[in-house]
Amino acid sequence: MITIQAKLTFPSKEDEQIVLDLMRRWSSCMRYAYNRLLEGWGRNTLKRELQG
């Protein structure tokens, strides 16, 4: 795996808000999935659940 660090710049505040919203949703999804795995949910069940 390769990791690249960079500073994001946005042409408008609207673009910045869209990216921040996407990042917030991704983080929330990852937390939800991790907690469901700890509860014993199956990987395939989670994949179906989170696709929406």
Residue ranges covered by each domain of the chain:
13-50
Angle between helices 13-38 and 43-50 (to 10 degrees): 150
Q: Which residue has the tokens 């929406």?
A: 52
Q: Residue-wise pLDDT tens for the chain (52 aa)?
A: 899 999 999 999 999 999 999 999 999 999 999 999 999 999 999 999 888 7
| First and final C-alpha spacing in the chain | 28
d(CA 27, CA 41): 19
| pTM for the structure as a whole | 0.71
